[in-house]
Structure 1
Amino acid sequence: MVTANPLPLKERNATYAAKTLTYAAAIWLAVATVGQWLFGIYILFFYGKATITGDFERWNDVLPRGYVEGDWKGNLIIGAHVLLAAILVIGGPLQLIPQIRKRLPHFHRWLGRIYVVSAIVVSTAGLFMLWTRGTVGDATQHITNSIQAIYIVLFALLTIKYARSRQIAKHRVWALRLFMVVNGVWFFRVLLMGWLVINGGPVGFNPKTFTGPFLTVLSIFTYAIPASLIVLELYWYAKRKQNSRLSFVTSALIFLCTIITIIGIFGATMGMWLPRL
């Protein structure tokens, strides 16, 4: 009986490496989805309950000067920012699920429209909050946060542009980039809480002033030079090159990011989100 020759070792390794890379990305997305939905539920319950009961002062437990009595315009902007942020963290992962794109194309398109508009509104409202009402942190955190807002608006416009011109491949590339920068605040909180869990408390920063070298580095690589974008671009590069070693290294990096994300989600859930509900 004649059997087909097995694939050469190099080709088998390349195939295995490509599958590992795909699995690594899928696992990270699943973990991130759970974390973002937990964050979204927290936003809806915390701010929703405070708003419905008229206890607007409770906003200030999280957002310094989030509610200012008599400033209805500013308060309205803050409220819109928070509500749309919940839409972003809950709706964003839904846009990345292939089954939804294929089986519910109309839902995907309408949610996409809501998502990009919400991203622009949230980022501009965030700038308003940052530079008119003030927030915790130092100048570096404020500047890097502002840079992130510019990324969000630019990437959102490019996502819309390529969707309207039916350049779907480019549209998906920019939509993924938008997803990464939109979640800068989520990444910042998750990584901060992961750092606290790993170190057993604040290390490298002053929790009272919310300043210090760790927060400076974290804000730079979360907002101004987003590490999430760097990993995404490396993932795409590895997919294109189809080099086994590069794919395995990239997969290992993504798995490491997944572990850190899990620790951070646990820390944020137990340390910030659940206690405030």
Structure 2
Amino acid sequence: MQRIAARTAWTIAGLLLLFVLIQGFVWHAAYRGAVGLSGDPTAIERLTGPRGSIVALFAHMVTGALVTTLSVIQLAGPIRRRWPRLHRNSGRLLAVAALLTGIGGLVYIARSGTVGGTDMSAAFGLYGVLMIIAAIQTPRLAMHRDYDRHRRWGLRLIILGLGSWFYRLHYGLWFGITCSLGDATCGMGVQSDFSGLFDRIQVWAFYLPYLLVLEWWLRRRPQPVRR
């Protein structure tokens, strides 16, 4: 009993820490997206393309901030067990926000491309498609009471929901490591037009490795008996 209580306490502490860590990204994305939707030209910076695609991208930022926040909440087992209604309602909101986030990102890529070129467009496009699929599958399986597959798709959606934060986290860690070694290595492999080696790796590394690890973990877990 004490072991279970200790594990629960550590889980809650870890989730609280994760929630605090994502706040910088969440508020930056939400604020910049809201400023862009208000029509403030200072939010555009290097964004190019038709106004409709830029509006879609700003909406993508706002809903993406919500997706990142709700992903941590959905990951909290104690909330799911103690307040199942909150879990269900926040899960529905997460699915809708993730669907809108994926669509907004794909609209911008299709109409304006990305600053990083073909590699970034392909990687971000696949990321958006996977998020849309997960956003549809997760609630669909819950409505069909297929809770094992619902949980699997929910975990995939959570990983994708945290992907944008992982992307920024990787850059922060990379600059922290390379700059601590000296000025000559600071930001090695990173270019302003995202053409550096680290940039090209990053566009895939912020979500695919995490999904692969999740799939490996899911396949190692005992499968429930179907009746």
Separation in 1, partners of 2:105, 2:31 = 20
Name the structure 2 match of 1:214: 198
User: Cα RMSD between the aligned structures?
Assistant: 3.1
The runs of 5 or more residues in structure 1 that have no matched partner are 1-15, 242-277
Match status 1:166 vs 2:138: no
Q: Report the CA distance shift for 1:26/1:106 in structure 2 as closer, same or farther (over 3 A).
A: closer
Task: Kindly state the Cα deviation for residue 190 of structure 1 after the two structures are TM-superposed.
Answer: 1.0
* Pairwise CA distance, 1:46: 4.0
CA–CA distance in structure 2, aligned partners of residues 23 and 220 of structure 1 = 34
Identity between Structure 1 and Structure 2 (%)? 24
The one-letter code matched in structure 1 to 2:141 is: Y
Alpha-carbon offset, residue 199 of structure 1: 0.3
Match of 1:202 in 2: 187
| Partner-residue secondary structure (3-state), 1:166 | coil
Q: Which residue pairs with 2:183 in the alignment?
A: none
RCO higher in structure (CA 8 A, sep ≥6): 1
Distance 1:28 1:144, change over 3 A: farther
Distance across 2 between alignment mates of 1:232 and 1:30: 21
Once the two structures are TM-superposed, the CA of residue 203 in structure 1 deviates from its matched residue by 0.7
Give me the whole-angstrom Cα distance separating, in 2, the residues matched to 1:26 and 1:238. 24
- For 1:2-41, what aligned pairs fall within 5 Å after superposition? 29-41=15-27
Equivalent runs, 1:29-178 vs 2, <5 Å: 29-48=15-34, 50=35, 56-61=40-45, 64-65=47-48, 71=51, 73-178=52-157
Question: How far apart in 2 are the matches of 1:106 and 1:25?
Answer: 21
CA radius of gyration, larger in: 1
CA-CA distance at 1:30 after TM superposition: 4.8
What's the secondary structure of 2:187's corresponding residue?
A: coil
Stretch moving more, 39-48 or 25-34 = 25-34
**What is residue 214 of structure 2 aligned with on the other side?**
232
Q: Structure 1 residues 83, 205: CA separation in 2 closer, same or farther (over 3 Å shift)? A: closer
Residue equivalent to 1:271: none
Question: How many Å separate the matches in 1 of 2:197 and 2:93?
Answer: 37
SS at match of 1:137: coil
Deviation at 1:154, TM superposition (A): 1.5
Structure-2 change in CA distance of 1:151 and 1:46 (3 Å): closer
Alpha carbons 1:37, 1:89 under 8 Å: kept: no
Residue in structure 2 matched with residue 190 of structure 1 by the alignment: 169
Structure 2 Cα separation of the partners of residues 33 and 109 of structure 1 = 19
Separation in 2, partners of 1:100, 1:24 = 14
Shift of the 162–106 alpha-carbon distance from structure 1 to 2, 3 Å rule, reads same
1:76 deviation in Å? 3.8
1:93 is matched by which residue type in structure 2?
V
In the alignment, which residue of structure 2 is the partner of 1:255? none
- Structure 1 distance, partners of 2:164, 2:27, is 16
Change (3 A) 1:231 1:32: farther
Deviation at 1:198, TM superposition (A): 0.6
Q: Structure 2 length as normaliser, TM-score? A: 0.79
Judge conservation of contact 1:64–1:134 (CA < 8 Å) in 2: no
Count of equivalent residues:
215
TM-score by length of 1: 0.66
Judged with a 3 Å threshold, the aligned counterparts in structure 2 of structure 1 residues 180 and 142 are, in CA distance, closer, same or farther, namely same
Q: 1:205 to 1:118 in 2, by over 3 A?
A: same
1:37 is displaced (CA, Å) by 2.8
SS of residue in 2 equivalent to 1:173: helix
TM-aligned CA deviation for residue 216 of structure 1: 1.5
